[in-house]
C-alpha cells in the first residue's frame, strides 16, 4: 500500500513517473519488486528530478539495503527501459547534485509519512 500512496502524493504534486513505463502503482496490485521505487520529473523549478524509496515500518524506523539510494546504487539501478532523454536528465542532475532523494514510510494501517 505504501508505494501506491507515495505514487499518489507525487502525482498530486505534478510529478510525472518515469520508471515502470510511467504507470503509478495500483492499490489492488503489489509493488513492482526490487529496484528503484520511483523516478520522477517535474517541469517546474528544482528539484526537477526526484528518486523515491518507500519502506514498510510499524515503528517509523526502517533500514535501507546495503548501499541503497546512494548515487552509485541509483545509477546502477536506473531501468533499461527508461527513455534516453529521461536517463540523460537524471544522470545530469545527479552529476550536478541537483536531484533529490525522498524516503517514504508506510505504517501498514493506511497511514504513513509521505513527502
Mean pLDDT, residues 82-87 taken together: 88
Q: Confidence class of residue 60 from pLDDT cuts 50, 70 and 90?
A: low
Provide the H-helix boundaries in 1-115.
2-12, 71-77, 84-96
Mean pLDDT, residues 61-72 taken together: 74
Please say whether the beta carbons of 62 and 51 come within 8 A: no
Top pLDDT among 65 and 4 is at 4
Cross-strand partners of 41: 16, 49
pLDDT over 70 (residue 59): no
Question: pLDDT value at position 62?
Answer: 63
Amino acid at each position: 500500500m505504501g508505494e501506491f500512496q507515495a505514487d499518489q502524493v507525487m502525482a498530486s504534486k505534478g510529478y510525472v513517473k518515469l520508471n515502470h513505463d510511467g504507470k503509478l502503482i495500483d492499490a489492488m496490485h503489489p509493488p513492482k519488486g526490487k529496484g528503484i521505487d520511483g523516478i520522477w520529473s517535474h517541469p517546474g523549478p528544482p528539484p526537477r528530478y526526484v528518486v523515491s524509496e518507500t519502506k514498510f515500518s510499524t515503528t517509523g524506523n526502517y533500514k535501507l539495503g546495503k548501499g541503497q539510494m546512494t548515487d552509485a546504487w541509483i545509477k546502477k539501478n536506473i531501468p533499461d527501459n527508461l527513455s534516453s532523454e529521461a536517463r540523460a536528465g537524471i544522470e545530469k542532475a545527479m552529476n550536478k547534485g541537483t536531484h533529490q532523494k525522498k524516503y517514504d514510510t508506510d505504517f501498514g494501517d493506511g497511514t504513513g509519512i509521505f513527502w
